[in-house]
Amino acid sequence: PMPLIIDTDPGVDDTFALILALLSPEVDVRAVTVTFGNVSREKTFANARRVLALAGRTDVPVAAGAVRPLVHAQGELAADWHGADGLGLRSAEFPEPGPADPRPALTLMADVLSASPEPVTIVSLGPMTNTALLLAGHPALIPRIARIVAMGGSLGTGNTRGAGEFNVYADPEAAQRVLTQPDVPVTLVPLDLTMQCLADGAWLDALAAGGPRCAALVGTVTLYREMFRERYGVDAAALHDTLAVLEAITPGTLRPKPFPVSVACTLGPARGMTEVDRRPDAPGPLVQVALDADVPAVLSETLRRLITLG
Ligand code: BDR
Ligand code: CA
């Protein structure tokens, strides 16, 4: 199986994404590293370990990473979407957190990359701070990275600012570092696609019927779904981070196309905007940007895999 490091800030959709990876036989999750993001790093770290316990995978090392962005303070948390606990106010229904790896996230990432005979895919599901620090601090390990698949960005409307998507807006300098890294294949899964892949009531009910652990997973979505209805007038939940995992597990599923991408790092209204340069001859390292997918197939495949949690 393909070796994977998942960097995450759970987070309701992060929880779905982690479970999806842990249940997929094509990949071997070698490490989970945790960043600040939807809620504080203290909470995301405990949540990641709760999710691993729910999946029965406390054998996977989980290490704590960045507590804040590289340069400026974090603009805002996403606790209104993910609940003050980061699990839709349902953390009490999850098992107690599994063990914490004593290494800092960067050390764990570096250890996994050094030890793996094959290059490792990094899946980034939160602010890109840990991954940016890895690239900056361990240049000798860059050839050991098979690919980075990151959920983030938007070509159009943002979800945190007019043009700013949450993960990129949370640490624009880190995102700029990752998205302009030469010699590493990077795939970006932006809102333009994730906002088309919506789990509706029927999808969530089908998952909840899969068993008690599936039901616990679906329970975390209640608040998120209410927020989604309030903001977008649609009764559904976007599965954002799960799409990045699906693309990492089954490369090409999201049919990405190559464009240079840069991030607005200025302070002001454009901060956190991702500029995807779609001119045919645009210069710069190319990022594979996932703008298109067979949406019904993505939804049914995600459900098929998640339901095996039981
Ligand atoms: C991203 O922001 C977070 O709130 C979600 O977990 C996802 O990673 C979507 O913009
Ligand atoms: Ca996330």
Q: Which is the closest atom of ligand 1 to the Cα of 81?
A: 4
ipTM of the complex: 0.99
Q: Which is the closest atom of ligand 1 to the Cα of 38?
A: 4
State the Cα–Cα distance between residues 155 and 175, nearest whole angstrom.
15
Q: Which is the closest atom of ligand 1 to the Cα of 14?
A: 6
Question: What pLDDT is attached to residue 81?
Answer: 95
List the alpha helices (DSSP H) in the chain.
12-22, 41-54, 79-82, 105-115, 129-137, 166-170, 172-179, 191-194, 201-208, 212-219, 222-232, 240-249, 295-306
Question: What pLDDT is attached to residue 5?
Answer: 99
* CA 115 to centroid of ligand 1, rounded, Å: 30
Residue 241, ligand 1, Cβ within 6 A = yes
* CA 281 to centroid of ligand 2, rounded, Å: 32
Question: What pLDDT is attached to residue 125?
Answer: 99
* CA 125 to centroid of ligand 1, rounded, Å: 7
State the Cα–Cα distance between residues 220 and 85, nearest whole angstrom.
10
Asked if residue 180 lies in contact with residue 284, where contact means CB atoms within 8 angstroms, the answer is yes
Question: What pLDDT is attached to residue 247?
Answer: 97
Residue 165, ligand 1, Cβ within 6 A = yes
State the Cα–Cα distance between residues 246 and 151, nearest whole angstrom.
11
Catalytic residue among 72, 82, 138, 240: 240
pLDDT of the chain along its 310 residues, tens only?
A: 999 999 999 999 999 999 999 999 999 999 999 999 999 999 999 999 999 999 999 999 999 999 999 999 998 899 999 999 999 999 999 999 999 999 999 999 999 999 999 999 999 999 999 999 999 999 999 999 999 999 999 999 999 999 999 999 999 999 999 999 999 999 999 999 999 999 999 999 999 999 999 999 999 999 999 999 999 999 999 999 999 999 999 999 999 999 999 999 999 999 999 999 999 899 989 999 999 999 999 999 999 999 999 9
What token pair was written down for 247?
A: 């693309």
How many CB atoms sit inside 10 A of residue 190's CB?
A: 26
* CA 168 to centroid of ligand 1, rounded, Å: 9
Q: Which is the closest atom of ligand 1 to the Cα of 165?
A: 10
Residue 247, ligand 1, Cβ within 6 A = no
State the Cα–Cα distance between residues 115 and 130, nearest whole angstrom.
19
Question: What pLDDT is attached to residue 76?
Answer: 87
State the Cα–Cα distance between residues 219 and 238, nearest whole angstrom.
15
State the Cα–Cα distance between residues 91 and 97, nearest whole angstrom.
10
Residue 237, ligand 1, Cβ within 6 A = no
Residue 160, ligand 1, Cβ within 6 A = no
CA 272 to mean position of chain CA atoms: 17
240 is catalytic: yes
Asked if residue 193 lies in contact with residue 154, where contact means CB atoms within 8 angstroms, the answer is no
Residue 242, ligand 1, Cβ within 6 A = no
Residue 156: asked if its preceding bond is cis (omega within 30°), the reply is no
Residue 171, ligand 1, Cβ within 6 A = no
* CA 164 to centroid of ligand 2, rounded, Å: 15
